[in-house]
Amino acid sequence: MKSLRQHLRTICKTLGLSLIILGTSWSLFILLEVKEDSSQSARTIRVFWGAAAYLAMAINLLLASRLSFVETIFGGLDKAYKQHRQLGILTMLSAIIHYWSPPIFADENCTGVCADLLWPSILAGQIALILLLVFGLISTLRRYSFKGRQLPYGVWKMTHWIMLIVFSAATFHLMQMPKMSFDYRNFAQILGLIGIICALIYGGAHLRRRRRTYDYEVISITRQGDVTLIDAQAVGRRLNHRAGQFAFLKFDAPGLKEAHPFSISSSEDDTHIQFCIKAVGDFTKQLPQQIKVGSKAIIEGPYGRFASRAHPTQTWVAAGIGITPFLSLVKSMNSSKPQANSKTSLTYIYRNDADAIQPDILEAAMKNHPEFEFIAHATANSGRWAAPDDITGVTLFCGPKPLKRDLQKKAQDLKTEDFEFN
């Protein structure tokens, strides 16, 4: 039941945002008094779907901007990117409907400059649609693996940069369609202006990321099975994070120059920063061979709205490498005063003792902080962990999806963070 409610909530958010886009597009028709007789009402609907596709693309630029207000609205960057993905689907569907049944305008007066602009405008719209569908297919394929192989992250990311060209082509198609009547042209110009503003905000946000980008130098590397613990010291400005947040990390090394998101596992007060990274993909599998002490790291952040100190009773559940944000939370306990009558319980699920990451820090925290309880669960000895039925308060979880689905059925208020941004 909890899982069903979580899915319905996500669907409602997506539908709500979609209705805002569609409603805004329709409202512009009304406010601008686009006039149509009943015989031409089909043309209005066809233009409307094109406008909805364009507006969804414009809003998606804002969702991809990584601006703080976007995180605040959606409850985290990962949630914003999920809506970004859903709006991408809405964009493609609306664009297909618009293309399948394009609006028809009279062309008897379209001569001279009008005729010169007509075909470039139509061609720009066709190019935008084709690239949109191709990139949508690439994003879909990126989410699946075939015989253990996955579409390279760099290819997927490159398509998102090229999407700026797609958006430019769509803007040209919208604003330079000469056959449109005066009313429609006013509508198109205002809609295009909205899109240009969104693009400028996105561009400004991208430039602003430099202020959230820091140079670091690797000072320590510890390997524990398939996990690499990296400690780095700031070269100049230092990143200040809240416990539980994450950052985008890349290195000045072959194969490691594309930034990937990782949870920060160091304390809020540490002068260095630490990441615990499991080898699960091309980027992470290259880390042990490519980086060494002295390697240059580039870190962008911090991001995330995972942790909250507003709830006195919290249940934390970590599985495998999902312990990383909780390590930061536990290490930061010494610098924060617990709330009255607060109680926090951390259950750490791992395969065997050799896989446990920094369990000594968690055990020491339980001795030094009476309000904190640590429960270790090694599945090799104790079997599969089952979520209890009496989970109260807020529950923070980081781990694999099957365990997340089990918790959704029993936790009253479950908070998670998902790094699958593609």
How far, in Å, CA of 398 to CA of 413, rounded? 14
Tell me the CATH number at 332.
3.40.50.80
The whole-angstrom distance between residue 380's C-alpha and the CA centroid of its chain comes to 34
Residue ending a domain, choose from 142, 175, 208: 208
Nearest to 214 by CA among 233, 193, 192, 195: 233
Per-residue pLDDT of the chain (422 residues; tens, 9 = 90+): 444 454 455 555 555 665 666 666 556 555 554 555 444 556 667 777 888 889 889 989 999 999 888 888 888 888 888 888 888 888 888 888 888 876 666 554 555 556 556 778 888 888 999 999 998 888 888 777 776 677 777 788 888 888 999 999 999 988 877 666 666 777 788 888 989 999 999 999 988 888 899 999 999 999 988 899 999 999 989 999 999 999 999 998 888 888 999 999 999 888 899 999 998 878 888 888 889 999 999 999 899 888 877 677 888 999 999 999 999 999 988 766 666 567 889 999 999 888 899 999 999 989 888 888 999 999 988 888 888 877 777 889 998 888 888 888 878 788 887 766 55
Model confidence pLDDT, tens digit, residues 70-101? 888 888 888 888 888 888 888 888 888 888 87
Residue 25, domain member (yes or no): yes
Please tell me the number of Cα atoms within 13 Å of 178 on its side-chain side.
15
The whole-angstrom distance between residue 289's C-alpha and the CA centroid of its chain comes to 29
How far, in Å, CA of 400 to CA of 37, rounded? 56
Residue 350, domain member (yes or no): yes
Assigned token pair, 415? 């908070």
How far, in Å, CA of 291 to CA of 294, rounded? 8
Nearest to 277 by CA among 314, 313, 246, 312: 246
Query: Counting runs of H as helices and runs of E as strands, what totals does the chain give?
Result: 12, 13
Check the CA dihedral 398-355-230-266 and report its sign. positive
The count of structural domains within the chain is 3
How far, in Å, CA of 191 to CA of 58, rounded? 10
Residue 240, domain member (yes or no): yes
Strand (E) or helix (H) holding 376: strand 372-378
Residue 308, domain member (yes or no): no
Does 394 lie in the same domain as 375? yes
Other Cβ atoms within 10 Å of 249 Cβ, number: 24
**Are 205 and 171 within 8 A, CB to CB?**
no
Does 377 lie in the same domain as 365? yes
Strand (E) or helix (H) holding 140: helix 113-142
Does 264 lie in the same domain as 128? no
Residue 344, domain member (yes or no): yes
Nearest to 46 by CA among 103, 105, 100: 103
Does 94 lie in the same domain as 123? yes
> Helix axis angle, 2-31 relative to 77-100, nearest 10°?
50
Nearest to 263 by CA among 218, 222, 322: 322
Does 53 lie in the same domain as 115? yes
Does 285 lie in the same domain as 174? no
Whole-model pTM: value is 0.82
Specify the pLDDT at position 220.
94
The whole-angstrom distance between residue 232's C-alpha and the CA centroid of its chain comes to 25
Model confidence pLDDT, tens digit, residues 258-308? 899 999 999 988 889 999 999 887 888 888 888 999 999 999 989 988 887
Residue ending a domain, choose from 303, 335, 353: 303
Residue 9, domain member (yes or no): no
How far, in Å, CA of 349 to CA of 400, rounded? 11
**Are 133 and 93 within 8 A, CB to CB?**
no
Structural domain range at position 235 = 210-303
Residues 6+ apart with CB under 8 A from 32: 183, 186, 187, 190
Q: How many residues does the chain have?
A: 422
Does 54 lie in the same domain as 193? yes
Does 240 lie in the same domain as 193? no
Does 25 lie in the same domain as 125? yes
Nearest to 255 by CA among 154, 175, 344, 337: 154
Q: Rounded to the nearest 5°, which phi and psi values hold at 287?
A: -55, -50
Does 242 lie in the same domain as 184? no
Strand (E) or helix (H) holding 85: helix 77-100
Strand ranges for 206-289 from DSSP E: 213-224, 227-234, 246-251, 260-263, 272-278
Specify the pLDDT at position 4.
47
Helix, strand, or coil (residue 285): helix
Assigned token pair, 225? 């099975």
Does 163 lie in the same domain as 78? yes
Specify the pLDDT at position 199.
94
Tell me the CATH number at 218.
2.40.30.10
Residue 5, domain member (yes or no): no
Own/partner pairs, 66-73, CB within 8 angstroms, 24+ separation: 66/205, 66/209, 66/303, 67/201, 67/205, 71/303, 71/304, 71/305, 72/305
Does 202 lie in the same domain as 216? no
Residue ending a domain, choose from 191, 208, 225: 208
Residue 4, domain member (yes or no): no
